Structure formats: C-alpha cells, structure tokens
C-alpha cells in the first residue's frame, strides 16, 4: 500500500496553466485559500459501506473535528443537502452503481465535491473505474479497502480545493464570455502550426453566416477580404508575428454573405514558445456603422446647413476639375462669379444675426434660380457666394446672369417678421485668361467683387489685370498702415474756418495725414478707404481725437476771447460703433479742459442713417458731454431730410459741389439759398466748404452764409504753424 504522502500527492489536482496566468482582468473573486473551520460531511451509503467506521477515521485525523451525517438513500441525501450546507459528500459505489447514478443525475443536488468510495471494485479495474467515475462527476476516487484516516483527510481537502479552483475558473470564463458578448465582437483563434482556424458564432454572424457555413481555415477569412485591403492586413499580421509590433490591429473591408463589404477591425496577439509564435487569438469588430456615420458627418461638413449649398471645399474641387479640363480641351471654357452681400455686417447688427441668416438662406435659393441647370453654387464663406458657370465662353451671358442675380436681390426679403432690402456686388472672371491654379481664380474674382464694392456697390465687374495689381497694392498698403499705427506715423493738419465777412479765424478742421518714412505725406484718399475696410480707422480715429483736443486746449488757453476757437473732427461709421468712443472723448475733454460746445464731430448723412437707432443714442450722449454734432457734405447723401428732425444736429457743412455750382448760374445760388433757409428754420449753424475763389465767397456772403473754409483762406497747416496763423488773421474781438 502506498504511504500517506504519496497518496496526498496523487490526489492533488493537476496544475492548471490558465490559473497560473491569471491577469488583472480575469482575477477570480472566489476565495482560493480553504476556509478554516469545522467541516460538514455527508456519507451516502445503503449499508455496504460502513459509514460509522468512515466517520470514526475522519474524527481521528481532522482538526477541528468534523461533523459527519449519514443518508441511506439518494432521497434522504438530497433532503439533507437542500436543508443545510455540506463541504463534501462520500458516496458508496458498488459494481452496478445504481445509488451513484441516481444521486449524480438528480438535478436537485447542489454543486459540491463528490468523493466516490469503490466498495467492491477489483484492483485491476482501478484505472477504468476511476476514469468512469471522474467523468461522471466525482472529484476524487477511493477504494474502500485502502481507506485510512490520513487518506480520507487528504481526499476531503483535495476535493474541496479542486471545487474551489473550478468555481474560480468558471467565474473567470463567465466574466470573459460576458465581456465578449458585451463588446459584440467576433472571436477567432489561429493555430499556426496546423493552419487550423476557429471562428466564434458571433464572428460568423457578423458576416451573415451560420455555424456550419465556414470551414476552420484561414482562407475563409483572407479570401473574403477586399482586394485593396488584403495586402496591408497580411503585412500587419506578419509584422506582429515577426515581433516588429506588440499587437496586431488593422481595419479592413470583408465580404459578407450577401456580397456587400463591411468595415471591420481585427485585433489580436500571438502566443509564443520562446521567440516563435505558435498561436494567435483575437477579435473582429464591426465598424460599418461608425464608417457610415463618419461618411455622413463628412458629407454634412461639406454642405452649409443654413443654405443647404456646398461649402468652399467641394466648390474648389469642382473648380480644380474645370481648370484641368480647360487645359485638356481648348473648346471648353468656364466663368466664375463671386457674389458679395453689401453692408452685411451692418445689416446683421441692425436686424439681428438670426434674421440676417434667414436672409442668406433666401438669397441662396434666389441664386439657384438665376443660374442654369448644372451650374455650381456654393456658400464660399460668411456673406460670400461663389458660382461656377461651366461650358460658358461668352462673357455677355455671364454678365446677364450677374444682372439677373442683382435684380433678384432687389426684391424684399421677409425674415423674422421684418422686411429687409439689400444689394450685392459681383465679380467675374473667365477661364480664357489661362489660369493654372484654382486659388488664382478665387483671388481674381474676389478682387473684381471688391472693385465692384469700391465703385458704388450693387453692380458687377469683370476682372482685369489692373485689379490684381490694385489688390496687391492694397495688401501692401494695409501692412504698411498697420505698422504706421504701431509707430505713430500720423500727424494732424488743421484747415482754418473763418468768418466770411471779416476773414477772422473761428476754428479749425483737423485732417489726418500719414507721413510715410519713404514716400512722405500719403494722400488721405489712398489710405483712408483701406483703414475703413480693415478697421484700422478706429485706432487712428482715437489718436486723432486725443491729439486734436490736446492742441485745441493749448490754443484756447493761449487765446482768451469771447468766442473761443472750435475744432472739427470727422467721424466714420466704424468709429461711431467703437464702444470706447464716448469714454475717450469724455477723458480727453476733462484732461485738456475743452470749453463746452467747441469740439465738433462731423458725420456724413450715410453714417447717420446706416444704423439710425444706435447712432441716435450715441449722439445724444455725446451732446450731453458738450460735443456738437455737424452733418458733413450736406446734400450729397441721404435723399430724405427727415433725419434732421430725428438726430440732435447742431450744424450743416455745405459740400464743395454746391459751392462750385455758384458760378454756374441761378440754379446753384437757389440750392445754397434753400440749404441756408433750412438751417435757419432748424436753428442750426452753417459752414460752406471748398471755397477757392473770392467770387464764391462774395456770393455766399450775399446769400447769408456766415462761415466758410477752403484754399481761399488757407490750406491745412501743421500744429506748429497755427500760432502764427492766429497772430496774422486774428480772432473775433471780446
């Protein structure tokens, strides 16, 4: 008979490789160490096995003492097992195995270690009967003739340990299976030595196949991969097998059972024996839905949600194709239009951005109605639309379309309960100019649209080479102008305003000049429009207000008269929208002690009317600060005079065109007489601009005009020259 130590070793469960390689993910929650405490054991014996003797042997060796209960048949045993907890069951096994079979087949028997005790088996049948009983559910096999206390103790603890290991393994397997089901992935295993491939049920279902539809071969996978993807897929797998990559991961297309291709991602790792890979296992994830959503998002990103028109990118792609086609086929030509909404920013501020967006959506529909079927219309960005007219070599047809667009835009837009009117400026260019690049076309057509804006808006312009030069010049000018703001290269010149009858000085108009380090004085007509367009007029205007007040305060302190000198400064639309305007003026007036009513801001009629309500509030606040408001270039802008009653206006400046008309006959005099009568009725002052000849001054005096300015009385002068001018011409006496 073998000794106890040998029996213990033979009963220990074989080491489980999977248990040795437990990872963080598969760490079992089941306690693997046996719990310390009193053991409860059940002996199922019909009488052939001496249950009492077995219990005595157990009591002798187990510490603490165990509790042993007896059952005569399987019914009694099941009742005991359902009523209480037991750690293991000893079962009598005779040759016919009836009691054993009835017990292990009873579904009410809980999962716990079963120790089969063979009562009448012959020694030569040991191996056969052990294998049979272990297969049928026994945890341990013992022969009754060989029982000892030590053997029974070893059998109990070995069976309990095996059961715990089995529960832990089952838990890990269930957790892994649940994770795989939750991921909804297919699982596969590839035995590299034999080439055998195993696909899970879910792997087959992803492609629409049943359990028996695919063979266990790697070709079942590779033969279904898209021809463009099989090379990269195999290369990635080979790189991992060669140890060049830590894992395999590759997205590819695979043909499903219905013949369509689905996007999937394959991920796997190889198991190695030393350096050589022996097997590879991984998963297959269906990414088709993600690909469809990605494609949908990509398509949506190429279309503007507001107008439902293509965005810039697809338009440029069409334009690139058109350029390539024009190079290949001399008979093919195209025309590009850039449609730019006039004064859109002001419009959005006036009616609200939501209403402005609604107007753009309506405009997009009108553009589509104006072009031919097959022409491309896109929202190029902001308030700009681009149009590609293909197979069009006649510029006159393109200009007809441009005019059709302008006329359609003249129709009112009903948005957000408001009726809105606007215009567009349109630039055109054709492929006959021999373009090689789509960006060059866009630059040229944008330059043409800008030229249309500069020439009065609500019109179209066909690109010519001079526009490109002008655009480059404007760009360089903008760069230089920004540097001029930083370097403070500006200075003010002051044009005298005089009493027409006496010639005495009453004030100045401050005019901004740019002293370029190389070009000298730059003409205001050259840089002021660029400053307006870029917004640089705001910092330039702030500087002009501060500088003019500084000089005015100094001159007023030096010349104490009953009618102190005044200072007029022009104010643009961009400046009046400056949130810091009021603060800047109040601060400068206090700092330089400007006499109330002597600082004047001159605004054109269009500036007053472009954003009437906000402008009215700002002007009212300025007047409360002691600033006077004058209308510049009166009579040349807005056609209605109703704004004179609406806005807090203190004076009118008669434009030079009316002064020039004085020498043309009675009509010119009648016009100025009308303006003077209007001013008198409104109780506002008047200054005539652009007086260059004495005859003009005499006629103005005769018509009742009191003050004027122009080259006749003096050109704009620098600040250092002002004291000398005052000394020469004098100021009104006290």
| Residues above pLDDT 70, as percent of the chain | 91
Give the percent of the chain with pLDDT over 90.
40
pLDDT tens column, 143-197? 888 888 888 888 888 888 888 888 777 777 777 666 666 667 888 999 998 888 8
pLDDT tens readout for residues 17-41:
434 444 444 455 554 444 556 788 8
Task: Indicate if the pLDDT at residue 2 is higher than 50.
Answer: no
Rounded to an integer, the average pLDDT of 304-315 is 90
């250092």: which residue's tokens? 720
pLDDT at 350: 80
CB 412 within 8 A of CB 358: no
Confidence of residue 708 (pLDDT cuts 50, 70, 90): very high
Does residue 480 surpass a pLDDT of 90? Answer: no
Q: What is the mean pLDDT of residues 64-75?
A: 86
Q: In the predicted model, what is the mean pLDDT of residues 381-395?
A: 90
Express each pLDDT in 552-581 by its tens digit. Answer: 999 999 887 768 899 999 998 888 888 899
For 30-59, what is the mean pLDDT? 76
Eight-class DSSP state of 493: E
| Predicted local distance difference test score (pLDDT) of residue 177 | 66
Residues 384-406 have a mean pLDDT of: 91
**pLDDT tens readout for residues 493-517:** 999 999 999 889 999 999 999 998 8
Write out the E strands in 82-193: 88-93, 114-118, 140-143, 186-191
Whether the per-residue pLDDT at 301 is higher than 60: the answer is: yes
pLDDT at 6 exceeding the cut of 50? no
Phi/psi at 505 (5° precision): -75, 135
Q: Per DSSP, what are the bridge partners of residue 508?
A: 496, 567
| Whole-Å CA distances, 176 to 23, 71, 398 | 12, 39, 69
Decide: 438 and 456 in contact? Cβ < 8 Å.
no
pLDDT tens figures, 644-693: 777 888 999 999 999 998 887 788 889 999 999 989 988 999 999 999 99
Average pLDDT of 123-140?
88
* pLDDT at residue 222, as a whole number: 93
pLDDT at position 21 is 40
For the chain, helix (H) and strand (E) counts, in that order, are 28, 27
Q: Per the confidence metrics, is the pTM higher than 0.85?
A: no
Ordered domains of the chain (ranges, CATH): 4-180 (3.40.50.2300), 184-292 (3.30.450.20), 302-463 (3.30.70.270), 492-729 (3.20.20.450)
pLDDT, tens digit (0-9, with 9 covering 90-100), for 416-446: 888 889 999 999 999 988 888 899 899 899 9
At residue 15, the pLDDT reads 43
Predicted pLDDT at 22: 41
pLDDT digits (tens, 9 = 90+) for 578-634: 889 999 999 999 999 999 999 999 988 878 777 677 888 888 999 999 999 999 888
> Does the pLDDT at position 469 exceed 70?
no
Report the pLDDT value the prediction gives residue 23, as an integer from 0 to 100. Answer: 43
Report the 3 state secondary structure along 118-145: ECCCCHHHHHHHHHHHHHCCCCEEEEHH
Least confident of 217-226, 471-480, 483-492, 507-516: 471-480
């Amino acid at each position: 008979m073998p000794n106890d130590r040998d029996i213990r070793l033979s009963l220990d469960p074989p080491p489980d490789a999977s248990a040795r390689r437990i990872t963080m993910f598969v760490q079992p929650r089941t306690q693997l160490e046996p719990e310390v405490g009193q053991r409860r054991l059940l002996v199922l014996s019909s009488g052939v096995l001496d249950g009492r003797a077995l219990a005595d042997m157990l009591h002798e060796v187990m510490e603490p003492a165990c509790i042993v209960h007896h059952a005569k048949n399987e019914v009694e045993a099941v009742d005991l097992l359902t009523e209480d907890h037991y750690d293991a069951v000893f079962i009598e096994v005779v040759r016919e195995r009836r009691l054993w079979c009835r017990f292990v087949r009873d579904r009410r028997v809980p999962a716990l270690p079963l120790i089969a005790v063979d009562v009448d088996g012959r020694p030569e049948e040991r191996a056969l009967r052990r294998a049979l009983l272990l297969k049928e559910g026994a945890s341990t096999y013992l022969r009754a003739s060989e029982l000892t206390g030590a053997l029974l103790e070893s059998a109990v603890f070995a069976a309990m340990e095996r059961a715990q290991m089995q529960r832990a393994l089952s838990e890990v397997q269930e957790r892994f299976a649940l994770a795989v089901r939750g991921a909804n992935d297919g699982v596969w295993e590839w035995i590299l030595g034999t080439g055998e491939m195993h696909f899970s049920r879910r792997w087959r279902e992803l492609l629409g196949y049943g359990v028996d539809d695919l063979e266990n071969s790697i070709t079942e996978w590779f033969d279904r991969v898209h021809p463009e993807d099989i090379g990269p897929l195999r290369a990635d797998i080979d790189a991992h097998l060669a140890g060049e990559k830590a894992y395999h991961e590759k997205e590819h297309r695979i043909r499903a059972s219905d013949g369509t291709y689905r996007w999937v991602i394959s991920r796997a790792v190889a198991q190695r024996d030393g350096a050589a890979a022996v097997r590879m296992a991984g998963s297959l994830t269906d990414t088709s839905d993600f690909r469809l959503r990605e494609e949908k998002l990509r398509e949506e990103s190429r279309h503007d949600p507001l107008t439902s028109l293509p965005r810039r990118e697809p338009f440029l792609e069409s334009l690139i194709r058109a350029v390539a086609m024009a190079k290949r086929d001399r008979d093919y030509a195209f025309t590009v239009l850039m449609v730019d909404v006039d004064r859109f920013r002001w419009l959005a501020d006036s009616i609200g951005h939501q209403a402005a967006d609604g107007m753009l959506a309506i405009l997009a529909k009108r553009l589509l109605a104006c072009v031919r079927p097959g022409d491309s219309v896109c929202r190029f960005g902001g308030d700009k639309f681009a149009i590609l007219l293909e197979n069009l070599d006649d510029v006159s047809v393109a200009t007809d379309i441009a005019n059709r667009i302008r006329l359609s835009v003249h129709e009112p837009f009903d948005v957000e309960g408001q009726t809105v009117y606007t215009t567009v400026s349109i630039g055109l260019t054709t492929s006959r100019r021999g373009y090689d690049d789509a960006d060059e076309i866009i630059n040229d057509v944008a330059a043409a649209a800008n030229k249309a804006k500069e020439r009065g808006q609500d019109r179209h312009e066909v690109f010519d080479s001079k526009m490109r030069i002008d655009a480059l010049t404007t760009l360089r000018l903008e760069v230089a102008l920004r540097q001029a703001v930083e370097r403070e290269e500006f200075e003010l010149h002051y044009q005298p305003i005089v009493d027409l009858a006496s010639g005495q000085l009453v004030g100045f108009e401050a005019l901004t000049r740019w002293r370029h380090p190389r070009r000298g004085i730059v003409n205001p007509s050259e840089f002021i429009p660029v400053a307006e367009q870029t917004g640089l007029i705001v910092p330039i205007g702030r500087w002009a207000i501060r500088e003019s007040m500084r000089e005015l305060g100094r001159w007023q302190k030096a010349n104490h008269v009953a009618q102190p000198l005044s200072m007029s400064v022009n104010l643009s639309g961009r400046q009046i929208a400056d949130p810091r305007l009021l603060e800047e003026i109040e601060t400068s007036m206090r700092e330089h002690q400007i006499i109330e009513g002597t600082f004047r801001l001159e605004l054109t009629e269009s500036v007053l009317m472009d954003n009437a309500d906000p402008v009215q509030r700002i002007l009212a606040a300025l007047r409360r600060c002691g600033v006077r408001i004058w209308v510049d270039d009166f009579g040349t802008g807005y056609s209605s005079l109703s704004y004179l009653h609406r806005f807090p206006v203190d004076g009118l400046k008669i434009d030079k065109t009316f002064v020039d008309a004085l020498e043309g006959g009675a009509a010119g005099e009648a016009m100025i007489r009308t303006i003077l009568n209007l001013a008198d009725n409104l109780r506002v002052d008047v200054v005539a601009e652009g007086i260059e000849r004495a005859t003009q001054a005499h006629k103005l005096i005769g018509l009742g005009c009191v003050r004027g300015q122009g080259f006749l009385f003096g050109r704009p002068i620098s600040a250092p020259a002002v004291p000398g001018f005052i000394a020469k011409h004098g100021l009104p006496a006290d």
